A and B are shown apart, each in its own frame.
Chain A
């Protein structure tokens, strides 16, 4: 019987990620490709992991990086530029997370995809184009564990060492565990209630039945 490892979502402060790298080459890889729309017909994210890159994988008949035996168990995804562009579907990073991805390093990321990754505990780091290429072309990539230190923003392995870039706000959120933002936001309950009363349009939309509680 096939053993399925139980999915464990990231939780709390994240300061280190250790794992094998998986290289995915291509610019402007959109979220429709990461998870095609037909898999969005679901009311939870539980079964998305197996469908990540479904159409690209079928097309490559076993040769897609997410199907190669050498990439099995990898957790650090190395991508090129504008990764995750297009649709805002959080299903895309959720599918990557459920496949096993715990960090992404690339030349650049699409805005909403980046925010979604942060919100579910996947740190995204940037590196200049040439250095990304350097990692992607490294023949020993499958033979060594990589270690990402979020505080120092470094990537270390037997074969290479790089300084990574990460937005300071994202870095702070991972180190403190506040990347799961709800409780941090809720802590300002009083300020939120003051804000809604201070906004000019709250007043002139007051008589509007749609803005009244039903």
Chain B
């Protein structure tokens, strides 16, 4: 059993009681909601004649269903309009702060909360979205919940949960040039598998993690869930504190000093005990691309897609399914795979640093013929900053479409979808069957820089050839 890790400390601090069944009642410091997983929770409150216990501890935005081409109201899609209206109504009725379209702070919930300074070290954070693990980049303990648990947080600010085990993933050395946080996390998931994290929180640590920016750390923690870990975190350091400082909701004046003092005390002890430890050599990671239907099915750009016999017996069944669905052959190269659609965005890689990296790749170049390429900034703030820096112009000049903020084609709940069996190069997080809106659509996950390179060359390309 783990001891004295950041996870243990934050868990113990937020424990309200041991429940009769044997699980713990955990207080949730920050609750984030959006339009897709909250309406049924508010409905359940109504059915039970309950109120929101601490409305000021819940913050709302709208992201999953928003159109990214024309955001004028009412939305063209009646169901999407109904969902945003329901959220608006619920927030007014229950006095919950809502960052709506046009507020300047709307965007993907996991982009918005950190940029507002809502996400802070030592907090527990829950949201009805599996990528809530993103917030662990700040040393908070953050995890996705279902709608019934959203109801519980609204009604009680607590949930019933079994304590997770802790696996430390120690990343040695540094990423080489042209290799990004996305490549590292895809590599980790490939090494550990998509179910190794079930029942665990992942602590990402080591020199390679220390050297990452806060936005890169968010990319790492974001994808913990793709390795099965509901929660992923990184011990906070000076980078964490300076990222939060002066953000809209950051503690101010003497409160800042008090916060800093506490945050600095928050990390896994040098002699803390983990349930498991995995070591990764970050210097060996190549630009990484998925070839299959789970985020664990990936290879380095210069590697061949594995032969069945090279995989563990447990992985062969899904691999066969992946070969059939994706149309790849075992032993084939992933490099030079033709691409139809390029998508840069999502809670994994839709932040300003992601856009900067991609813009650098495409500057003064043109998107390859017959490729549909589009950029969806993670939030209104990201979009605004990008425009100030002229990134939107660089994308538009290259032939990318520049869109409004939202989740977009990561899960295709709006009109941004693959058609037929199109192949997308995507900076998002899931390559599941049908994930990007077409039941036969195919997704190759990669870093934003690799998506940009694919857009220019029309096929999967080693970004390092562009540098």
Contacts of B412 in A (CB 8 A): 37-38
Contacts of B197 in A (CB 8 A): 111
Interface residues of A in 119-143 (CB under 8 A from B): 119-120
B97 touches A201 (CB 8 A): no
> Residue of A at shortest CB range from B21?
A172
A37 and B413 in contact, given A191-B17, A195-B14, A214-B97 (Cβ under 8 angstroms):
yes
A42 touches B23 (CB 8 A): no
Q: How far is the CA of A146 from the CA of B409 in the complex (A)?
A: 42
Say yes or no: is B206 at the interface (Cβ < 8 Å to chain A).
no
User: Interface residue tally of chain B, by bracket?
Assistant: 35 or more
A41 touches B434 (CB 8 A): no
B17 touches A88 (CB 8 A): no
B194 touches A116 (CB 8 A): no
B433 touches A181 (CB 8 A): no
- B272 CB, min distance to chain A CBs, angstroms: 20
Q: How far is the CA of A85 from the CA of B225 in the complex (A)?
A: 9
- B416 CB, min distance to chain A CBs, angstroms: 12
Stretch in A26-34, A65-73, A152-160 touching the partner: A26-34
A178 touches B411 (CB 8 A): no
> Residue of A at shortest CB range from B82?
A43
Q: How far is the CA of A162 from the CA of B146 in the complex (A)?
A: 30
Partner of A44, one of B16, B39, B55, B198: B39
- A101 CB, min distance to chain B CBs, angstroms: 16
Contacts of B22 in A (CB 8 A): 168-169, 172
Contacts of A36 in B (CB 8 A): 434, 439
A186 and B29 in contact, given A41-B413, A112-B144, A205-B251 (Cβ under 8 angstroms):
no
B251 touches A181 (CB 8 A): no
Interface residues of A in 179-214 (CB under 8 A from B): 180-182, 184-186, 188-189, 191-192, 195-196, 199-201, 203-208, 210-214
Contacts of B217 in A (CB 8 A): none
B 219-230 to A, binary, CB cutoff 8 A, 1 in contact else 0: 000000100111
A30 touches B432 (CB 8 A): yes
> Residue of A at shortest CB range from B319?
A27
Q: How far is the CA of A34 from the CA of B3 in the complex (A)?
A: 37
A192 touches B53 (CB 8 A): yes
Q: How far is the CA of A56 from the CA of B122 in the complex (A)?
A: 42
Binding site for B on A (CB under 8 A): 26-28, 30, 32-33, 36-38, 40-45, 55-56, 58-59, 80-82, 85-91, 93, 108-112, 115-116, 119-120, 167-170, 172-173, 176, 178, 180-182, 184-186, 188-189, 191-192, 195-196, 199-201, 203-208, 210-214
